[in-house]
Amino acid sequence: MNDKSQFIPTIEGNEISSFQTTWSAPSNIALVKYWGKKELQIPSNPSISFTLSQCRTTTSVRFERHKDNLDHVSFKIQYEGKSATNFEPKVKTFIDRILPYAPYLKDYYLEIDTVNSFPHSSGIASSASAMAALAATIMDLEQRIYPSLTAENLIKKCSFLARLGSGSAARSVEGPIVLWGKHAAIPYSSDLFGVRWTKAADVFKTYQDTILLVDKRQKGVSSTVGHKLMHNHPFAEKRFAQAKAHYQALLTILEKGDMDGFSDLVEREALSLHAMMLTSSPSYILMHPNTIQIIQEVRRFRNTTGLHITFTLDAGANVHLLYPAHEADKIDQFIASDLRKYCQDNEFIYDRVGTGLKKV
Ligand code: DP6
């Protein structure tokens, strides 16, 4: 069922006066990129991602039921124990968007406390893990209010809510591989929520993701602005068609365990994403000269060693290096000796494919 009305509670729930819960959600890295969206976080093309393991947001929320009927949600947010008013607008937009599906929130005051496992200023997008963790705390409250909610529906709705905060957050609820966006090849896929896909060959379930921090500053153009620039983009329709074709091709590659096919497709996806930025109006460049240096060195190393290292890029200058666990020794050595110098303050993060939300 792909109708969003399925997420609107229809029965009378329990009255919970006070509830505190903590959830941790991972970041994810898109292999086929979501770039361009329609109203209310509906993607213009379907995407596929690896869920990460170590890069996470942990969020605690204390829900206090109002004594009086205020009929609006109120909240306070802290980041690493300090008041974080800069996060308020994004959280307010999120709550406003999810209220039709979580109307019980109007009865509560929320005290939100959040931390990231990775440095805040690392240039790693935290909106996916942040929105997924916050959605998980809300779904935990919902489970208390409506105990008949099944585990399957809870996960699905969690992804649905997270998507309304940040599109890519729909893919941060489960792992190791998540599909988001309707595609004819997968009948159970949806534009409304991410779904777990389990048919990949084992080798891809142990993939490593080492993130080279080329530029730790906040990027110059946000993803939200980038998505908007896909409206009236001269190559938009071609790009959406390419992503749909890549989606289908990547599923076959993953199922077959075809690591060479994986490198070829995933790298073209990353470069297509950045090509959209280079050719939008206004145009902009998020890659850094060191991003290009790394790409060249990775390709040279792969050609000479035959090892299966693949790069991909987010909407930023940092580079994600993906490779199988059984080749990690040699590839980690190459990263430390040849690539580290391209990172700001020589910093990089070791991560790997992971499984999704965790209750803390
Ligand atoms: C390049 O999910 O950050 O990382 O929905 O506006 O919050 P909003 O955008 P966001 O966009 C992610 C873009 C991307 C590709 C991807 O993760 O698929």
Q: Write a three-state SS string for 88-104.
A: HHHHHHHHHHHCCCCHH
| 137 in Cβ contact with 105 (< 8 Å) | no
Q: Please give the distance of CA 60 from its chain centroid, rounded to a whole number.
A: 19
pLDDT of 72 > 90? The answer is no
Residue 277: CB within 6 Å of ligand 1? no
CA distance 353 to 72: 39
pLDDT in tens, 251-276: 999 999 999 999 999 999 999 999 99
Residue 103's identity, in one-letter code, is P
Does residue 124 sit in helix, strand or coil? coil
Helices (H), the chain: 88-98, 127-145, 151-165, 223-228, 236-256, 259-278, 289-305, 328-334
Q: Which residues of 187-215 are buried (b: 16+ CB within 10 A; e: fewer)?
A: eebbbbbbbbbeebeebbbebbbbbbbbb
221 Cβ neighbours under 8 A, 6+ residues apart: 277, 284, 286, 315
Tell me the one-letter amino acid at 168. Answer: S
**Ligand 1 lined by 57 (C-beta under 6 Å):** no
34 lines ligand 1 (CB under 6 A): yes
Residue 108 CB–ligand 1 contact under 6 Å: no
Taking CA atoms only, the protein residue closest to ligand 1 atom 7 is: 166
Q: CA-to-CA distance for 10 and 24, rounded, in angstroms? A: 29
pLDDT at 218: 80
Write the Ramachandran bin of 15: left for phi over 0, alpha for psi from -120 to 50, otherwise beta: beta
Q: Is the CB of 166 under 6 A from ligand 1?
A: yes
Label residue 120 by pLDDT band (50, 70, 90): low
Work out whether the CA dihedral 99, 103, 107, 111 comes out positive or negative: negative
Closest ligand 1 atom number to CA of residue 49: 18
At 114 the pLDDT is 96
Q: How confident is the model at residue 338 (pLDDT cuts 50, 70, 90)?
A: very high
pTM: 0.96
CA distance 127 to 186: 27
Mean pLDDT across the chain: 95
* Mean pLDDT within 165-190: 97
% the chain with pLDDT above 90: 90
- Say whether pLDDT at 86 is over 80: yes
How many Å lie between the centroid of ligand 1 and the Cα of residue 33? 8
Q: Which of 29, 34, 171, 250 to mutate to test the pocket of ligand 1 (most atoms within 8 A of CB)?
A: 34
Distances (CA, A) of 161 to 93, 100, 131: 12, 11, 8
Average pLDDT over residues 206-216: 95
Length of the chain equals 360
Taking each helix axis from N to C terminus, what angle separates 151-165 and 127-145, rounded to the nearest 10 degrees? Answer: 140
In angstroms, the CA 223 to CA 209 distance is 21
Mutate to test the pocket of ligand 1, among 129, 193, 223 (most ligand atoms within 8 A of CB): 223
Question: What mean pLDDT do residues 281-310 have?
Answer: 97
| 60 Cβ contact list (under 8 Å, min separation 6) | 20, 21, 22, 112, 113, 114, 137, 360
Give residue 302's pLDDT. Answer: 98
Amino acid at 302: R
pLDDT in tens, 41-67: 999 999 999 999 999 999 999 999 987
Model pLDDT, residue 122: 67
Confidence of residue 2 (pLDDT cuts 50, 70, 90): low
Mean pLDDT score, 310-330: 97
pLDDT at 171 over 60: yes
C-alpha 61/C-alpha 308 separation (Å) is 42
- Ligand 1 binding pocket mutation candidate from 227, 246, 284, 319 (most atoms within 8 A of CB): 227
> What pLDDT, on the 0 to 100 scale, is given for residue 121?
62
